[in-house]
Every structure is written in C-alpha cells, then in structure tokens.
C-alpha cells in the first residue's frame, strides 16, 4: 500500500517568514495530493490540493509543488501569520478513494 | 451547517466494554472513512466504505469493525475496548463524482470523538 512520510514534525518560524513542509510517497500510481490544516481542537480542513497533471498550484500565500519523478510534494506558506499556527497534514490518494496521510507537522508562527 | 456529525464528542469506557461510534453525513457522499488520530502518528485509516453494506480494511483494522446499513451512516464498533484504543476518532466522507474541479475526493471531517478506555 501507499506510504507517506512528512518532515519536519515541528516547525517554528517568525511572523513574516516562509515555511516549507515536505512529503514523500511510495506509490507511483498516486494521483492526488491534498494538504489539510487542523487548528487546535478543530477538525482537519482542506487548504490546497494538487493533481498529478500539474507541477505547482498557488492560492494566495500558500502553494504546493509536486515532483512525480522523485515522488515528493511540498507545501509553501509565505508571509506567515500567527493564525497559520496549526498542524498540517499531507496525503496521497492511491487505490480507489483511499487517502493515506503523513504524520503531521506542528507549525508555530511566533509574533 | 455541519455536514458530518459524530454522535459523541467524549466517551469514557471500561476495558472489555462494547463501544459504538456513530457518524452521519448529509452530503450524499458514497465514501465514508474512520480514522484514528494519535500524536506523532498522523491520521491512520481504520476502515472505509464505498457503498452501503460495503466495507474495506484500512491500515489498522485489528480490534475494530464497522457497519454501513444506510448511505448516510457509518458506525465504528469496538467489540471489546482496550486501553490501547484510547484515542481521537475522526469520521470523514467524500465523493468520487464530478471531477477535480468539483471537489472529488475531498474529505469532509466530523468534529471527532475522543475515547478514553480505563
């Protein structure tokens, strides 16, 4: 089955700096890669996703890049703000509708 | 407008008890999932279902079973709860239809059920 690894497990940045979270996956058939944000005490919510027919996608301050050859994808957050502090999960969709998640990254943005 | 509802936010059970966690979605989604969330381990898939009365094992099915008698309802059952099943349980649903631009495969999560087994 699919295996997704996520790094780093914790990330602390100063407000205004950029943050990058990286994930690797094992199944070359995976074709959909979402990122979920989970604020403290709340449910995970989709923030951005990318499908295997594109290499990069942007939505305001967040972007995701995908390298299918190397089987890795990354989340980039620019101009970080305190409200970006949360746990971020990457995931990969392989067989059927099944999403496999990474271990999560606790991002802390210090004012 | 809550779309995925989990019946219990907090439960405390004794070792050996049978535990039912209920999940209902109102989006007419075909797919429903049960994940377990533990610190440092991410979201691990327990069971999922593509259709009524269908079920598939996820990555950690041992000690759990599921039931999907109606499209909107997916239940997680712990036949005999153990302390190592103390965790946060998240239900989610998704649809395959409509293609990438319409949100196919996007998971909508419930608020979670925090289970403590003593």
Q: Rounded distance, CA B3 to CA B49, Å?
A: 18
Chain A interface includes B43 (CB < 8 A): yes
Q: Rounded distance, CA B110 to CA A92, Å?
A: 20
pLDDT in the model for residue B97:
67
Q: Which two tokens stand for residue A23?
A: 């994930």
Cβ-contact A105, A8 below 8 angstroms: yes
Whether residues B45 and A99 touch (CB distance < 8 A) is answered with yes
Instruction: Indicate the SS3 state at residue B50.
Output: coil
pLDDT in the model for residue A5:
96
pLDDT at B2 over 80: no
pLDDT in the model for residue B99:
55
Q: Which of B104, B65, B109, B4 is nearest to A93 (CA)?
A: B104
Segment B8-24 mean pLDDT:
96
Chain A interface includes B13 (CB < 8 A): no
Closest CB to A101 among B30, B43, B110: B43
pLDDT in the model for residue A97:
73
What is chain A's pLDDT, residue by residue, as a tens digit (111 residues)?
789 999 999 999 999 999 999 999 999 989 899 999 999 999 999 999 998 777 899 999 999 999 999 999 999 999 999 999 999 999 998 776 788 999 999 999 999
Closest CB to B42 among A1, A97, A101: A101
pLDDT in the model for residue A53:
78
pLDDT in the model for residue B81:
97
pLDDT in the model for residue A54:
79
pLDDT in the model for residue A51:
87
Q: Rounded distance, CA B38 to CA B15, Å?
A: 19
Whether residues B59 and A100 touch (CB distance < 8 A) is answered with yes
């Amino acid at each position: 089955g699919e295996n997704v690894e996520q790094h780093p497990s914790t990330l602390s940045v100063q407000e205004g700096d950029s943050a990058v979270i990286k994930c690797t996956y094992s199944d070359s058939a995976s074709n959909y890669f979402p990122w979920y944000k989970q604020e403290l005490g709340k449910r995970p919510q989709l923030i951005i996703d990318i499908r295997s027919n594109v290499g990069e996608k942007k939505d305001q301050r967040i972007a995701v890049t995908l390298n299918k050859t190397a089987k890795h994808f990354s989340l980039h957050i620019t101009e970080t703000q305190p409200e970006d502090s949360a746990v971020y999960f990457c995931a990969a969709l392989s067989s059927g509708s099944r999403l496999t998640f990474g271990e999560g990254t606790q991002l802390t943005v210090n004012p | 407008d809550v779309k995925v509802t989990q019946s219990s936010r907090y439960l405390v059970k004794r070792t050996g008890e049978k535990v039912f966690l209920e999940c209902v979605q109102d989006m007419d989604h075909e797919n429903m999932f049960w994940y377990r969330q533990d610190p440092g381990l991410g979201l691990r898939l327990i069971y999922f279902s593509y259709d009524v009365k269908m079920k598939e094992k996820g990555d950690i099915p041992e000690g759990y079973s599921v039931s999907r008698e109606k499209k909107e309802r997916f239940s997680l059952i712990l036949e005999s709860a153990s302390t190592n099943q103390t965790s946060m349980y998240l239900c989610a649903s998704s649809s395959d239809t409509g293609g990438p631009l319409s949100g196919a495969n996007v998971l909508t999560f419930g608020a979670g059920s925090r289970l403590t087994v003593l």
